[in-house]
Chain A
Amino acid sequence: MFPPVKIEGRTIDPFFNVNRPDELAAAEAFLQTSAV
């Protein structure tokens, strides 16, 4: 129903939920490289 969110050529699950340290790091990295 919901396609991945595409931001500056990168895609991510729109319901990405930060629950673990590795997910925190991934979200941080995505935000740092994207103008979300």
Chain B
Amino acid sequence: MSTWSAFCWPVANRAAWAAATNACRRSPEGRFFAHVIERLKPQVAELIISANGDPARSRPSACRWSRIASTAMPDLLPASLPASNGRAPIGLRAASAIAAASDTPFLPADLVDRLRSASGEGEANLVVAPISGGDAPGVRVVARDACSRSRSLADERRPARSAIGSGSIRQER
């Protein structure tokens, strides 16, 4: 397993709901999201999910989030910011992360290993944008530095941030 993190952003809250509750896998979004999680989770040390809203206040509850991800965190970036540009995990602990949209259900089982190899086994500082249709890449690699820039952008909005982790709860301000 890689030391990298994976960060998934749901296309909509409905998709997050579906995957988290495991009750609505009949919906396309829920099934796709579940596939992304199932593909990425074995490949990384930490799986982070953007909860769109505040995961501490919205349903599914923190407990349900913790079943599927190491961390759920609010997506604090402006909705107008393209996914390919700014949807990076705030407070990322790993140096590098795979960021994947919840509507890319056919990700390779060896995605992280291959990207690590491509980056020379070092810390990834590259952005990859393999894409099949659409304008925004469904998958990319983000470096912690890039996440810091996103964090600065989010700080401008002065939100209360919370992250729910399995076995740990941290508040960041």
Contacts and interface: CB of A to CB of B under 8 A. Distances in A.
Contacts, number: 71
Interface string A8-21: 00001111111110
B84 to A, nearest CB: 11
Interface stretch (B1-9, B44-52, B106-114, B150-158): B106-114
B130 A15 contact: yes
A13 to B, nearest CB: 4
B167 interface: no
A30 B105 CA distance: 10
Interface stretch (B53-61, B70-78, B132-140): B132-140
A1 B31 contact: no
A36 B139 contact: no
Contacts of A17: 101, 103-104, 131-134, 136-138
B133 A19 contact: yes
A24 B101 CA distance: 14
A7 to B, nearest CB: 8
Given A14-B107, A15-B138, A31-B105, A36 B35 contact: yes
A20 to B, nearest CB: 7
A35 B131 CA distance: 23
A36 B134 contact: no
Contacts of A7: 106
16 contacts: A1-B130, A2-B111, A7-B106, A14-B108, A14-B111, A15-B106, A15-B132, A15-B137, A16-B105, A17-B104, A17-B133, A18-B28, A19-B103, A20-B133, A27-B105, A28-B28
Interface of B: 28, 31-32, 35, 101, 103-108, 111, 114, 118, 130-139
Interface of A: 1-2, 5, 7, 12-20, 23-24, 27-28, 30-31, 36
